[in-house]
Amino acid sequence: MGEDWLARPRRPVPLTIVPVENETLTSYLRRLAAANRLDSEALRVYLTGDKRKSARVGLDTLALVSGQPRHALRYAILELATPRDLHAVHVAARPRPGGWARPQCQHCTLSRGHGTAAAWCWNLHEDPLCFRHRRWIGDGRDYAHHAQPDLSGHPDIMAANRRHRRMIRRHGRHTVMTAFREATHICDRWHQRRVHDQDFSRIMRIFHGPHWQVSATDPTIHAARYPQIVSLTKLLASPVGREKILLSWPEPVEFIAEVRRTVAPHYTWTLTGGIHDPLVALLAQERQLCDDAEGDADRQPAPETIGYPTRTNRHRSRRLASGSWDG
């Protein structure tokens, strides 16, 4: 493609490609270019008339060149939408551009006629699988060089995802996402130490048979750990449950029982001799932050200037009188 190409009036490419909902702009340009045997960077320059990668692709130009309606492009590819557009297309429950992108389910790609190249889409943290095709999609990092695992024999992974979504409806996405990150970190540490891995091993045997051996990047590893992460997320996302832990410190008996019942049957709470368990470490840090904040509250006359909560145990007790782990 020579320089003179840039100067010509823009016209549609021979083959159009339908954008996928939540697709990244880079992915769409790559797929559109591939379908028309063009270089994707050259296509971007053609669209913007500017060789800088930061140059903005205009909606009208892309509609003209791709042959797709403006509204279809703007709805699917949110990077093309203005803040006013975002309000108009009701994107509250959709992932915003700039977060985490991963490939679309391969079966969705084929069944919807989106071509053979995978579309990369922005995704929400509660979307690691395709319910329609019962496939583990993961987060993209564990997928690049592997097929997407079949979840037909894994009702527990599918059920974990339903629990994950219910939690979001109950507590809100931000609360659950924070708890999910904490739970993922804790389960990562346990997994590295080969502790509390009974469920993981059971699920891996269902995936690969009794003598399984896979690479460290195999997506089934993430899939097999997911139910435990969701179970721990449920305990950490519960504001009432979390307060109960701090109230019953240093030995939150009820919480420990819940962890054993729903997350790790042989879990032991060890607070002495140095904290090595990542779950204890997380909660001990939170406990310390609350203590520090309450100490500050005693010393300072203006509680609104303090960064941490200034609730006392007495206040917490009143709120928790009828609370449960599901609260």
Residues in contact with Zn ion by CB under 5 A are 105, 107-108, 130, 132-133
As given in the structure block, the two tokens for residue 315 are 């206040």
- Bridge partner list, 23: 121
Residue 115 CB, nearest distance to Zn ion (Å)?
15
Question: Would you say 249 and 243 are in contact if contact means Cβ atoms under 8 Å apart?
Answer: no
State how far the Cα of 283 lies from the Cα of 286, in Å rounded to an integer. 5
Residue among 132 and 205 whose Cβ is closer to Zn ion: 132
Residue 130 CB, nearest distance to Zn ion (Å)?
3
As given in the structure block, the two tokens for residue 320 are 């928790």
Residue 105 CB, nearest distance to Zn ion (Å)?
3
State which amino acid sits at residue 207.
F
- Bridge partner list, 100: 123
Q: Determine the residue with CB nearest Zn ion.
A: 105
Residue 164 CB, nearest distance to Zn ion (Å)?
18
In 120-270, which ranges are continuous DSSP H helix? Answer: 155-171, 173-192, 198-208, 219-237, 239-247, 253-262
Residue 123 CB, nearest distance to Zn ion (Å)?
13
Residue among 51 and 132 whose Cβ is closer to Zn ion: 132
Residue 144 CB, nearest distance to Zn ion (Å)?
18
Residue among 5 and 131 whose Cβ is closer to Zn ion: 131
State which amino acid sits at residue 240.
V
DSSP string covering 133-154, please? TTEE-TTSTTTTTSPPPB-TT-
Residue among 134 and 225 whose Cβ is closer to Zn ion: 134
State how far the Cα of 169 lies from the Cα of 2, in Å rounded to an integer. 53
Q: How far apart are the first and last CA of the chain?
A: 61
State how far the Cα of 60 lies from the Cα of 40, in Å rounded to an integer. 18
State how far the Cα of 61 lies from the Cα of 57, in Å rounded to an integer. 7
Residue 324 CB, nearest distance to Zn ion (Å)?
36
